[in-house]
């Protein structure tokens, strides 16, 4: 199973003040994903709207960003990743964006809701 995470959709799923420091929220999400992925050797790609600045590194999670900025740029990149994969049914995309969910399902992947996923990776 491969997971592709719509980063800002997960970050924005809870009004916890993330907008005060977007970069810190992006780092926090990446750290949570690393812990979650390492537990059962999950393959996780997190997609940001634009490259984090300063860059965020990980040896566990693949970090990528939309190649261009603008509305729905991360969504377009997620759909591209699903379509480029040889086995879309083995991919689960984490998002609560209805339009992105429809596009991903059409490409053959599954959907997991962002808030439920955030609860999952944050743990009890």
Mean pLDDT for 23-44 is 94
pTM of the prediction? Answer: 0.94
In order of 35, 49, 59, 66, 85, the CA distances from 28 in angstroms are 11, 16, 15, 20, 27
Confidence class of residue 124 from pLDDT cuts 50, 70 and 90?
low
Confidence class of residue 41 from pLDDT cuts 50, 70 and 90?
confident
Choose which CATH entry (3.40.50, 1.10.3470, 1.10.40, 3.30.43) describes domain 2-122: 3.40.50
Instruction: Decide if pLDDT at 7 tops 70.
Output: yes
pLDDT on residue 34: 96
Express each pLDDT in 65-122 by its tens digit. 998 877 789 999 999 999 999 999 999 999 999 999 999 999 999 999 999 999 999 8
C-alpha 51, offset from chain centre: 13
C-alpha 124, offset from chain centre: 21
Domain boundaries, the chain: 2-122
Confidence class of residue 40 from pLDDT cuts 50, 70 and 90?
confident
Whole-number mean pLDDT of the chain?
94
């Amino acid at each position: 199973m491969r997971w592709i995470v719509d980063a800002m959709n997960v970050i924005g799923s809870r009004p916890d003040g993330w907008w005060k420091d977007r970069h810190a929220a992006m780092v926090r999400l990446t750290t949570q994903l690393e812990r979650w992925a390492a537990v059962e050797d999950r393959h996780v790609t997190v997609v940001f709207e634009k490259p984090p600045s300063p860059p965020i590194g990980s040896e566990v999670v693949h970090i990528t960003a939309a190649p261009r900025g603008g509305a729905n740029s991360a969504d377009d990149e997620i759909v591209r990743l699903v379509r480029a994969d040889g086995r879309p049914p083995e991919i689960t995309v984490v998002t609560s964006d209805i339009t992105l969910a429809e596009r991903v399902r059409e490409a053959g992947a599954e959907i997991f809701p962002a808030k439920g996923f955030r609860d999952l990776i944050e743990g009890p």
